[in-house]
Structure 1
Amino acid sequence: MKKFAFILFLIGWNLSAMAQKPTRLDSIKVIPLDTVYWKRSAQAGINLNQGSFSSNWKGGGVNSIALGAFFNAKSDYMQRRFNWTSEAQLQYGIVKNQGQDSRKNVDRIFLDTKVGYRLNQVWLAFGNINFLSQFATGYRYEALPGGGERNVLISNFFAPAYLTESMGLEYKPTTYFNLQFGLGTIRQTFVTDDAISIGVPTRYGVLPGKTVRNEFAFQLIANFDRNVAENLNVKARYQMFANYSTLNAIDHRLDVSLTAKVNRFVNVSLTGIVLYDKDQDNAIQYSQGLAIGFLYSF
């Protein structure tokens, strides 16, 4: 009986000591995952350009007004070696010149998501899915011999559209620059509007009677996104796409934007695109835009 009482005493003493002394689990501070690993940002805005001239203005010109809207969003998840980044860029704008119907001057759907696993301080293995298309119909405007012009349909929503799946290695020495080497890349080109006749018979590389083309390729992507001054941001994305079966016709695309914040809600942006794709045109294509507008970040 005494031995049993002694054993109960020892058990009670140990339990009391454990209750007074915190364990390792008690000392761990639990922090919500959402506040530790996620970085999210988004921007929405409206751009407006306008010009008007008197009837006797000797410098020449045409009355015009342009209106555009955009939405950009990005999320970045990082936990130890695992990284998941997603980005969306949606843009659409129209311009109305006196004596002409309204025409679009910007139209873009860009969706991108990438999962990476860090191998060391600067190298990651990644898998990426990217989608690129436009919202509305696109036309080429041709002057008629007797005056006036005609509209020739050259593009539409999902005509073309590009869906790209890529796996490979990523070099990321800093937070604002990275290089992606897509050693195994597959791209689908969609043309779902039979009324489009550009580039007949291939139509953006899609064969007659088909709506999709598959390509196996090597892809190189370079991204740069940094504030070079207090209120000045430079963002650039270069993409090279080399079909393994047609290495003599490599696609190149460069997107650059320069954004200056005037104040919290007003910004000025200069954008430019340079594109070379023989499935679209044998010559280099480019576009440029300058706008001032309202910007809201959240």
Structure 2
Amino acid sequence: MKKFLLILSISIGVFAFAQEEIKKDSVVVDTVKHWSVLGKQSLMINQAAFSNWVGGGANNVGWLAGVDYNITYEKDKDLWENIILLNYGQNDTKGLGVRKTQDVINVSTNYGRKVSKSWYMSVGAGFQSQFMAGYEDGNNPAAKKISNFMAPGYLNVGMGITYRPNDNINVTLRPTNARWTFVLDKDLQTAGTYGLRADGDSSLLQFGFLGTAYYKVKLMENVSVTNTASVFSNYLDHPERLVLAYGMVLNLKVNKFISSNITVDVLYDHNQIQKTQLKQTLGVGLAYTLNNGVKRSDRKDSQWWIKK
């Protein structure tokens, strides 16, 4: 009897252990991260020095700091993308003093609910401005002031549809979009400045269509180009006066910590100046990219356009 009980207890123990192992093996661990964070912090330095140089030139040193984050939430039919872009740079040239070379604040958020493959009904908002005052004559502080923080500042709020087949393509069309222009610097609150109706006005409300597009392409290993574009038409006043913007960033990555960027920005806004605006920058320096892992949209089992 004792032998029987011993054998029975051993058998039960083995069976229980086997069942536990089966349970462990049968559990499928979901490693999908619904939140993904892709961020880049950069500090670019440029410098030039001259001594008895017949060709001429002025000693100068400059810097450009930037923060670029894309924070995305993906789960089932929900897609929520948040973008934070902050850039500021200065250049100190002998005989001219300190001038800013870059000044950008661009923050946006867009929530979409999937209605079909790659298509989302969406609602979103975006804010744009700058950190410091801008002046005529190459940002000379002794010259006339033409801009400042929240002068102008732009706030867009609207709803529409978003097309997003993958992380490298994003097109949003908003047939209903409110666009507020803020001019909070009293020195710039004059009729006609940034579209203001009368002296002393601090804001302007427009309502119309907003379209935005994002496209990133890899040219070769460690070389990529990011393109952004937008168009706005005001239904309420001169809808033919489109606000057009295009931006290009060419990124050449040396390694995890060193990269080079070339940027080109083109803008036309009748309320700012009736001319096409162009800005180009080049920088080489330190850059660190943060990536918290694989997103749901990166997995092969969620990429319907890839044959399995």
TM-score relative to the length of structure 1: 0.84
Asked if structure 1 preserves the Cα contact closer than 8 Å seen for 2:219 and 2:225, the reply is yes
Structure 1 position 141, deviation (Å): 2.1
After superposition, where does 1:221-240 map in structure 2 within 5 Å?
A: 221-240=212-231
Q: Corresponding residue for 1:4?
A: none
Of 35, 39, 43, 1:38 maps to 35
Give aligned-pair identity as a percent.
Answer: 30
The amino acid that maps onto 2:213 is A
Q: Corresponding residue for 2:169?
A: 177
After superposition, where does 1:276-291 map in structure 2 within 5 Å?
A: 276-291=268-283
Structure 1 position 229, deviation (Å): 2.0
SS of structure 2 residue aligned to 1:204: helix
Asked if structure 1 preserves the Cα contact closer than 8 Å seen for 2:135 and 2:141, the reply is no
Q: Corresponding residue for 1:138?
A: 134
Q: Corresponding residue for 2:83?
A: 87
Of 197, 204, 209, 1:213 maps to 204
Asked if structure 2 preserves the Cα contact closer than 8 Å seen for 1:276 and 1:284, the reply is yes
The amino acid that maps onto 2:60 is S
Structure 1 position 149, deviation (Å): 9.3
TM-score relative to the length of structure 2: 0.81
Q: Describe the superposition over 1:50-85 as per-residue Cα deviations: whole angstroms up to 9, x where unpaired.
A: 112223x22222221111111111111111111000
Q: Corresponding residue for 2:8?
A: none
Asked if structure 2 preserves the Cα contact closer than 8 Å seen for 1:253 and 1:273, the reply is yes
After superposition, where does 1:261-280 map in structure 2 within 5 Å?
A: 261-280=253-272
**Please, what is the CA RMSD of the aligned residues?**
2.2
After superposition, where does 1:1-298 map in structure 2 within 5 Å?
A: 29=28, 31=30, 35-55=32-52, 57-141=53-137, 150-196=142-188, 200-207=190-197, 208-245=199-236, 246-298=238-290
- Bigger relative contact order, structure 1 or 2 (CA pairs below 8 A, ≥6 apart): 2
Structure 1 position 293, deviation (Å): 0.8
Q: Describe the superposition over 1:249-280 as per-residue Cα deviations: whole angstroms up to 9, x where unpaired.
A: 11100011001111111001000100000101
Count of aligned positions: 266
Q: Quote the Cα distance in structure 2 between the aligned partners of 1:190 and 1:65.
A: 34
Q: Quote the Cα distance in structure 2 between the aligned partners of 1:290 and 1:159.
A: 26
Q: Corresponding residue for 1:23?
A: none
Structure 1 position 228, deviation (Å): 2.8
Q: Corresponding residue for 2:6?
A: none
Q: Quote the Cα distance in structure 2 between the aligned partners of 1:72 and 1:241.
A: 24
Q: Quote the Cα distance in structure 2 between the aligned partners of 1:129 and 1:227.
A: 28
Q: Quote the Cα distance in structure 1 between the aligned partners of 2:172 and 2:61.
A: 40
Structure 1 position 156, deviation (Å): 0.6
Q: Quote the Cα distance in structure 2 between the aligned partners of 1:295 and 1:103.
A: 23
Moved more, 166-175 or 241-250: 166-175
Q: Quote the Cα distance in structure 2 between the aligned partners of 1:258 and 1:30.
A: 39
Asked if structure 2 preserves the Cα contact closer than 8 Å seen for 1:122 and 1:172, the reply is yes
Structure 1 position 116, deviation (Å): 0.4
Q: Quote the Cα distance in structure 2 between the aligned partners of 1:113 and 1:274.
A: 23
The amino acid that maps onto 1:111 is V
The amino acid that maps onto 1:249 is R
Asked if structure 2 preserves the Cα contact closer than 8 Å seen for 1:233 and 1:258, the reply is yes
Moved more, 113-122 or 166-175: 166-175
Q: Quote the Cα distance in structure 1 between the aligned partners of 2:255 and 2:141.
A: 43
Q: Quote the Cα distance in structure 2 between the aligned partners of 1:181 and 1:171.
A: 9
Gaps of 5+ in 1: 1-19, 21-26, 143-147
Asked if structure 2 preserves the Cα contact closer than 8 Å seen for 1:171 and 1:180, the reply is yes
Asked if structure 2 preserves the Cα contact closer than 8 Å seen for 1:190 and 1:206, the reply is no
Asked if structure 2 preserves the Cα contact closer than 8 Å seen for 1:90 and 1:108, the reply is yes
Q: Quote the Cα distance in structure 2 between the aligned partners of 1:97 and 1:234.
A: 31
Q: Describe the superposition over 1:183-203 as per-residue Cα deviations: whole angstroms up to 9, x where unpaired.
A: 100011000001126xx5221
